[in-house]
Structure 1
Amino acid sequence: MPDLGNLGDKAKDAANSEKGEQATDAGIGKAGDAASSASGGKFDDKIDAGEGAADSKIGDQG
């Protein structure tokens, strides 16, 4: 079994880099677009709020 000791820390460090921030923002945006498309835009306000909440928790805050 591989040692996953600091894998979580490495993932956080990667997400907090500029390149990681761009990737997480793109992923959150694509997920929001898919949700909006699936709901026909009916819940866009809630989807946008969810995207903002996710973005505030993932990646670089500075």
Structure 2
Amino acid sequence: LGAGRIDEGAISLLRFAGKIDSVLTGEPSMLGVITPGGYGYMRSDGVAVIPMTALGP
């Protein structure tokens, strides 16, 4: 997602995570939004913002 859509992506991801049957599958290890660049950080809602450059060369 572009940097301007991080909030939208995080809200959608949290909504999706709320639909997961955690009794059957367990809780997600992590929730993260991938961005094309910038800095990585953890949002106050627990969603990680991960720049694509942090994933590898």
Q: TM-score, normalised by structure 2?
A: 0.45
Bigger relative contact order, structure 1 or 2, given CA contacts below 8 A and separation 6+?
A: 1
Which structure is higher in helix share?
1
Which structure is higher in strand share?
2
Q: TM-score, normalised by structure 1?
A: 0.42
Structure number, greater radius of gyration: 1
